[in-house]
Structure 1
Amino acid sequence: MTSQPVSVGVYSHQEIVREGIMSLLSRHPDKVAVVPTPTHPGDPDPDVVLYDVMALLDGDTGPLGYLVDMTASKVLAVGHDLRPDLVGTALTTGVDGFFSIGADEKELLAAVESAATGWRAGDPGENPTVGSSASAARANQLGGDLGLSEREVQVIALIARGRSNQQIAAELFVSINSVKSYIRTAYRKIGVQSRGAAVGWAIRHGFGSTD
């Protein structure tokens, strides 16, 4: 880790989650310093904030938006496997990455380290500890808040990269008719009616337009 302990704030509406994560982190004072999470201008910004996505259950993204837009902290979403839509909402709001509430102590520390020191080369991949901006895991979560299936996410991502229907079919090993079906259902879910609008939506929501 870094030479100084990484300052970490934990944001959760659930006391058991908040206290549990803080307790695990507090066992490593040489690596982590648990500090208050900033809520108002003038509050000190931790190096990293761990944000429990269950705080989004009421649809209020204001506190998360404040952490993302108004602080210098790296913000990691703490995801729950039964609510991938909330992770999708957090990613759309602009968090720097995510990891599962089921992560063990070693993975938790690795997530904090990754956020504080920059994404390690080993993070991007199918199952990273932290879903950084370059990871396949992050892409699979995008659009979850709108009910996009994994296949629909793949199709939208490929459209954003300029692939034709034929190229998408070849890359995903599906038929052209299947691609058209995925496109129709995905367009309906994201509220667009054209390929150009789909590309614009994808870029605005973090899919990117290049490989």
Structure 2
Amino acid sequence: MSISRTHVLVAALATVLLAAGCSDDSTTTHTTEHSTTTTTSAAASTDFNDADVSFLQMMYPHHAQAVEMSKMVPSHTQNQQLIALAAQIEQAQAPEMQQITDLLTGFGKPAPSATEGHGGHDMPGMMTGAQMSSLDAANGADFDKQWLEMMISHHEGAVGMAQAELNSGVNPESRQLATKIIADQETEIATMRGMLGQN
């Protein structure tokens, strides 16, 4: 009788311990998952500084103007080299505008505006309204020359902004974008300078 009671007590104790063990595991797992989620979320929302935000907010309308200038090309010139270059610039910068929007949204910042700073005074290399009107009124070789000179200045401004991001920004994706902008646009500046020499 004594042995049977002992067996029953041992079995009951084992059941209680097993249940407690399961409960502890569940609680631990839940806590760990919650902690990990919180940490990841915090990292995603704090891994940037004012330099990153400023760079992205300025680069968006800067890119928008370059795309606008590129769209003018096919209707203003027959220069196939210039038409191809403009298409290349548009194809590179339009997706970067979406990337900029996604990054700013991830930072909890408002979506950027294509017209912000469009007066040409807030960002290096931006064309004024008068310059854009002059470009739109030109055709042929005159258009080619104006467009190349303006886009070289525009690209130089973008390179300067991207360099400032590399100097002061901390967000890895923003810095990676800045590095790409410098590489792409310095190559295009060299191409455009060569094309100006041909005109």
TM-score above 0.5: no
More helix by share: 2
* Structure ID, larger Rg: 2
Higher RCO, 1 or 2 (CA under 8 Å, sep at least 6)? 2
TM-score (norm 1): 0.29
| Structure holding more strand per residue | 1
TM-score (norm 2): 0.30
